[in-house]
Structure 1
Amino acid sequence: MVRLTRAQQQARTRATVLGAAAAEFAEHGYADAKIDRIASRVDLTRGAVYSNFPSKRSLYLAVLLDSWPHAPHGSVEALHTDAASASEAFARTWLERLPLAADDAATARLRSGSVTGVFDDDNGRAVLGELTRLEALMLALSLESCPPSAARRVRVAELILTMLHGADHLAGAAPGFGDPFDVARACGHLAGLDLADTWDPPHLGFIKAAELCDDPWPEPEDGIVVVLGAARLSAAEEAVRAAAPGERVTIAVVTDSPTETGALVRLRITGLAACLRRTFPAAAAPPVHVDLDEGPALATAIGAAIADDTEAAVRVRAGRVLARARGRGAGHAVAVAIPPADTSTGRDPS
């Protein structure tokens, strides 16, 4: 008889609960699913379920993360010669996850990774808004690497995501409506719109200047490291636009609710990143990295709180921190604190 270790037994129980929960959510949907029924499906107590997942919401998100195919099927898309063809290819890849017309409502929501009705409180809705803005930035930066040249394509990316999320909603609410190939072609046409997209937020001129320093840094990567709470994710663009050309920007995401808010961010960002990898080759990818794993460790290294409203940043060169800032605009502050000529040589301009 093989005796399982405590960790192995916990992993087995967790997997068992996830399987039962997937069946419960597929049969009843999120709103009508019951923890007691999930427990009874596998002869566990309600307490055993909650010992592995602190809430129904965290359990639902764990099911999505466990079952949703973040990496779309098929081979990597070919290199696209312009923003329009890249937008259409991205949309085709994103739309692969749409539920089938024959799926019932609950199964459709699971298939598409829908969180409709799951985060309906004010804080949850605020995080979803910030998260979608970060997604738009990630898509825009990839589109900006495609001709014709454009200083900013965030507004186009926002329109594309609006259309795709609308198609996702209709696929669940009105199955069989619309043609996904038409939606993808429409996304390609959106890339050609002239939206006079500029980046000049007036508040950046009033943020507190970064502190110049010369401190050790434990990570090998040079560049700008911005720790952002889940309710401040849109501030990522402030660092990206102020960074020197080609400079690496790491966005480390933190939250004080890792099983709920953290799981939501992971679900959405990993899904989007998989679509971007399919559409844009690594050589054309922007030098921006969203870190979902080392956020708490990087926050500790910076001395920042692990909370949804955190905003702190450092600029690193050759294993040394040359500038640091906290509060609103921290990423922008460290990016403009040292002229690009100095970051290329590693000199401290002070």
Structure 2
Amino acid sequence: MARLTRAQQQRRTRAAVLVAAGAEFAERGYAEAKIDRIAERADLTRGAVYSNFTGKRALYLAVLADDAERARDAAEAPAASPATAGQALGAFARVWLERLPLSGDEPGSGRLRLRSLSGVLDTAPTRAALAELVRFEALLLALALESRRAARRRMVRPAELALALLDGAAWRAENAPGTGDPFDLTRAAEHLADIALSDDEAAAHLPFVAPARTADDPWAPPRGLTDEITGRAVDPAEDGVVVVLGVGRLSAAEDAVRSAAPRDALTFVVVTDDAAEAGRLARLRVADLTGCLRRVFAAGELPRPRVVFDEEGAVSSALGLPPGGDLTEAAVRVRAGVVVARADGRGAGHAAAVSGTRTG
């Protein structure tokens, strides 16, 4: 039998740890799970577990992210998309609510099914990252919903309310399994699409954002990038705007979306200096949301901005940026394979997006 390469052995070890960890978390829950027992389940040493994962929280997030990504990749588009935003929001809620545990489920397995983060995010960086991710999720959901309305009313605030409703249902189901009627929750979500909310005002800081700087830099982007929303390959050399955002600045994506021209290809590159925890949290939440979106909307109706994870820093390096941290905010405008404008700091995505009206 041929000997495994080091990379193959590492992948096999990682897979074994994830399977063992999933069983441990399902049986005992996050709080009571032990790394030693996970190692024993995988027939590995404690050191082998820590060589792949920095700790129990990172391992738990990896288990959830792996499950969410598998579910997303297996998602099939509907035969017919909902006709209105309300129907689409109801369909999204119905798909999302399939995860609610039943009254007979064991607590640990029920929390895994919910992809629960209760008692897990007890550090300031991970909690801050989750707050930004919640707003990013609402933006992506809103962009899908807006495609269903002829009037093109912005749907970010209703999307935020819908996600809050679903998160509340998850908390109740986690602590009192069997409570909450999914049919009532679905109908409530449908009505949220028609609630009149103030959702059209530009962010107050945008008038004070420094303009993008003119540039003339060759752009040799890395290949092999994949859009997390559609699963399709991304061509970062396409004319448009590339926005590099740390997980602690993902809420700034909305400014870039609203400022970009309809013809612009808009790519969000997500970076972090904590791939083990904040990075896996981002992968979990984005995969979870897009897995639901893919089951509600046809491929051509998914949000147009591309989302790319740049854990190795390949995109940042190609742009001449330092390794990305959680508070990174930088952007460029690309035209004909050349970076023609650069911006960094707060509002960078907005500045690069509107630079297209100034440079031709």
Query: Would you say 1:241 and 2:230 are equivalent positions?
Result: no
Q: Measure how far apart 1:51 and its partner are.
A: 0.8
Deviations 1:80-133 (A, max 9, x none): 221111111111111122223221211111112112211122221111000000
Structure 2 stretches of 5 or more lacking a match? Answer: 221-235
Matching residue of 2:325: 307
Instruction: Determine the C-alpha separation between the residues in 2 that align with 1:79 and 1:13.
Output: 41
Match of 2:277 among 260, 263, 272: 260
Q: Measure how far apart 1:164 and its partner are.
A: 0.8
Instruction: Determine the C-alpha separation between the residues in 1 that align with 2:50 and 2:87.
Output: 47
Q: For the Cα contact (< 8 Å) 1:302–1:312, is it kept in 2?
A: no
Matching residue of 2:96: 94
What secondary structure is seen at the aligned counterpart in 1 of 2:270? strand
Q: Measure how far apart 1:135 and its partner are.
A: 0.2
Deviations 1:196-254 (A, max 9, x none): 32231121111111101222112432211100000000000111100012422111100
Further displaced range: 105-114 or 155-164: 105-114
Instruction: Determine the C-alpha separation between the residues in 2 that align with 1:126 and 1:164.
Output: 20
Matches within 5 A, 1:196-345: 196-218=198-220, 219-293=236-310, 296-305=313-322, 306-339=324-357
Matching residue of 1:345: none
Matches within 5 A, 1:63-74: 63-68=63-68, 69-71=70-72
Q: Measure how far apart 1:148 and its partner are.
A: 4.6
Deviations 1:156-178 (A, max 9, x none): 00000001111111121111101
Q: Measure how far apart 1:150 and its partner are.
A: 3.5
Matching residue of 1:111: 113
For normalisation by structure 2, the TM-score amounts to: 0.90
What secondary structure is seen at the aligned counterpart in 1 of 2:99? coil
Match of 2:84 among 82, 85, 97: 82
Further displaced range: 302-311 or 227-236: 302-311
Deviations 1:47-99 (A, max 9, x none): 11101111111111121223345337665252222111111111111112222
Match of 2:169 among 167, 170, 174: 167
What secondary structure is seen at the aligned counterpart in 1 of 2:71? coil
Deviations 1:6-46 (A, max 9, x none): 22222222222222211111111111111112122334221
Matching residue of 2:182: 180
Further displaced range: 202-211 or 92-101: 92-101
The change in CA–CA distance for 1:284 and 1:43 in structure 2 (over 3 A counts) is closer
Matching residue of 1:17: 17
What secondary structure is seen at the aligned counterpart in 2 of 1:96? helix
Instruction: Determine the C-alpha separation between the residues in 1 that align with 2:50 and 2:344.
Output: 36
Instruction: Determine the C-alpha separation between the residues in 1 that align with 2:190 and 2:310.
Output: 33
Further displaced range: 168-177 or 126-135: 168-177
Q: For the Cα contact (< 8 Å) 2:343–2:349, is it kept in 1?
A: yes
Instruction: Determine the C-alpha separation between the residues in 1 that align with 2:76 and 2:247.
Output: 32
Give the alignment's Cα RMSD to 1 decimal. Answer: 1.8
Query: Would you say 1:3 and 2:21 are equivalent positions?
Result: no
Instruction: Determine the C-alpha separation between the residues in 2 that align with 1:167 and 1:239.
Output: 31
Q: For the Cα contact (< 8 Å) 1:304–1:310, is it kept in 2?
A: no
Q: For the Cα contact (< 8 Å) 1:84–1:190, is it kept in 2?
A: yes
Instruction: Determine the C-alpha separation between the residues in 2 that align with 1:74 and 1:202.
Output: 40
Q: For the Cα contact (< 8 Å) 1:39–1:45, is it kept in 2?
A: yes
What secondary structure is seen at the aligned counterpart in 2 of 1:291? strand
Percentage of identical aligned residues:
56
Structure 1 stretches of 5 or more lacking a match? Answer: 343-347
What secondary structure is seen at the aligned counterpart in 2 of 1:52? coil
Read off the aligned partner of 1:257 and give its amino acid letter. Answer: D
Q: Measure how far apart 1:195 and its partner are.
A: 1.0
Further displaced range: 204-213 or 280-289: 280-289
Instruction: Determine the C-alpha separation between the residues in 2 that align with 1:97 and 1:216.
Output: 47
Instruction: Determine the C-alpha separation between the residues in 2 that align with 1:131 and 1:25.
Output: 24
Instruction: Determine the C-alpha separation between the residues in 2 that align with 1:246 and 1:279.
Output: 25
Matching residue of 1:191: 193
Query: Would you say 1:53 and 2:70 are equivalent positions?
Result: no
Matching residue of 1:40: 40
The change in CA–CA distance for 1:82 and 1:327 in structure 2 (over 3 A counts) is same
Q: For the Cα contact (< 8 Å) 2:77–2:298, is it kept in 1?
A: no
What secondary structure is seen at the aligned counterpart in 1 of 2:205? helix
Q: For the Cα contact (< 8 Å) 2:77–2:297, is it kept in 1?
A: no
The change in CA–CA distance for 1:189 and 1:148 in structure 2 (over 3 A counts) is farther
Instruction: Determine the C-alpha separation between the residues in 1 that align with 2:191 and 2:101.
Output: 24
